[in-house]
Amino acid sequence: MNLIKPVLVMLLVISALFSGCLQGSERVEKKIVPVPYPEDAKSIVNPVSKSDVNLAVGKDKYEIFCSMCHGLSGRGDKEISKKFQVEPSSLVSSDVKRRTDGELFWAISSGVNGTKMLPWNELLSDDEIWLIVNYIRVLQKEA
């Protein structure tokens, strides 16, 4: 029973990934899609502590749900991502680093229109999303 959620997630992600991939060997002109963070997202407070246990769980969640596109390092440089018209954001970029935890939570929860970034709020709990936000901060410090 515990495998149903990860399998469902993988199917949704794979579907999203391949729905916009290159067809044939054509090159796709890349677009930059700014993330439309709502103003009130800045003030959302992260309620999850950055304990060692929470960071380890956040890492596991990140590797399952995020690394397929953003890579293990958070740079958005996975080979399959290069086939998207809009490549995934580097989560260790200065733009993402300066975003509040609330803004990152919002982007993960809501997804980003015009990109392959799915809204994860129907598959992940708020706490799971906060765990991922905390782990993204670890990646940013390591970059």
State residue 6's pLDDT score: 63
Residue 41 is given by DSSP the state: G
State residue 66's pLDDT score: 96
If you search the block for the tokens 């993988």, which residue do you land on?
10
Cα–Cα distance measured from residue 96 to residue 34, given in angstroms and rounded to the nearest whole number: 11
State residue 44's pLDDT score: 97
State residue 62's pLDDT score: 98
Q: What pTM value is reported for the model?
A: 0.80
Cα–Cα distance measured from residue 36 to residue 34, given in angstroms and rounded to the nearest whole number: 6
State residue 25's pLDDT score: 40
Mean pLDDT, the chain cut into blocks of 10 residues (143 residues total): 60 51 45 82 97 98 95 90 84 96 97 92 97 98 95
State residue 84's pLDDT score: 83
Please state, in angstroms and as integers, the Cα–Cα distance from residue 60 to each residue in 41, 89, 114, following that order.
25, 20, 27
